[in-house]
Structure 1
Amino acid sequence: MKNAENHSLFEYKAYKDYLISLVGPRDQRSGHRAAMAKALTCQPTYISQVLYGHAHLSLEQGELLSEHLGHTSDEKQFFLMLIQKDRAGTKRLERFFQEQMAEILRKRLVLTERLGAKTVLPENQQAIYYSSWQYAAVHVAITIPELQTFTALCEHLRISKSRLTTILEFLCSSGLAKQEGTRFITGDVQLRLGNTSPNIIKHHTNWRQQAIESLERETLQDLHYSGVVSLSEEDAIKIKDETMKFIQETIKTIKTSKEEKLFCLNLDFFDVKKI
């Protein structure tokens, strides 16, 4: 039994609420309770007592059920933490587990925690790479076969020959690219900025400026959306989490997609309050 897509474990504050969202109300016959009982080698009536009564899963049962539900490592950790919180015999112990879960949720809101950090360039090379949008544009453009030559890059990105020479020399010397005959291809070194990097502001600024310029030549393939909204703090966290899921799924699609066109993806979702 896999965790349903619309039931994110991390949105729940009690493990029983989460499980009930998967199996449905007590009078609903879905077969899920029987499947859970089989996974735990117990009677279905015990599962009902846990879901709708005062009984609790043991940590050992929680671990087996987590495997049955197809949880990831992070989901299993959070699920077991929920069980420990709900089984806690004192408010102090309950608060301890709540703080532990809050820390897990906080880390999930940091993008590099979700996507995984890449090889980090030396600080001086990072400063050069993020000094202009052109470095990243050329770096990604050479993943497209039709744009791997010097002439094609010049024409597609409208970069001068002298400037492009400087960029390609840097990419090759830093390991981000390499030259094979008349073609340039990506190197073995990769990178991804975290939100604590001193270069992150420059990186975001570079590509948001390009987004603004793209408005003047917008095509049907482009998408621009801006909206100022009011919502609850809980829903704001939920939207950020769902957006990060979208980014993760998008990256999976990009990794298996044939390199044909060069696009930029910018997403902005932030608190308007001036601190």
Structure 2
Amino acid sequence: MGRWDVRRVTARRRALGLWSLGAMLACGDGGSDRVRIADVTADRAASDKHGALDETSLARATGGAAYVVSAVAAPGVIIGRVTGAPARDTMITPTKDVEVCSPFSESVVASTNGGVGNAAVWLVGVASGPRDDAPRRARLTLNGCRLEPRIQRVALGGTLMVNGRDAMMSRLQFTAVGPGERSRATLLFSDVGQIVPTSGPAASPALVRVSDDLHPWIQAWVLVSPHAFAAVTAPDGTFRFDHVPPGKYQLVIWHEYLGVQHTAVRVEPNVQTNVEMAY
């Protein structure tokens, strides 16, 4: 493929609630750099952290066109890391079914070495590229009065196998978040070991919230993307997109507690773009 250049994009918080974006492109062997500065809005208000997904939602991630699986000539790579928020643990004290549900500590911001884990990341504006490798059959487990995993990817059109291991009644709701929130599925659990498959949550692109009508502290998230360029950050905040078609995109980062932020990213042929976003 030839030699790779490296581009770096960074975002840092400003006092006025904007993010400063600096983009640096290493130009071959010449040693010269171009530096471009732009402002990137950051919405971290809890009241609007879902509504902010309107213009950059997964439903619009392909720009309104159907995603086409095709080979990518001279693709780029995006390697990113989300940082800046310390780990936060919340003590959950159940008030219902206490004979089954014991108090437990829940990490609302998974964090390792300053990185923010469990954040959803995706590109907006990608119309073609490689086939999505997200699992077509994924598992969600209700165990110990909590859902595991907290957030995961499921392929568009895939099936979620939901396993209820607790000896209690639960009614799980699957709701696509954002403007015009709507239910995608409702599952009722009453038997220990009950497994229920559902394809409703992954019927179309969306960020889907899973909640329990009977136990309000129980929730999880499902990320359903129309293309291959979506990820959940690792505990150290890292993510990676390979085989990205050259072009200009919006990179969206969402976290259930920290909210939404997005930035413009330009991917060039055979260029590795490093992105750092800080809450």
> TM-score per shorter chain, which class?
under 0.3
Name whichever structure is richer in helix by fraction: 1
Higher strand share: 2
* Greater length-normalized contact order (CA 8 Å, ≥ 6 residues apart): 2
TM-score, normalisation: structure 1? 0.21
TM-score for the superposition, normalised by structure 2? 0.21
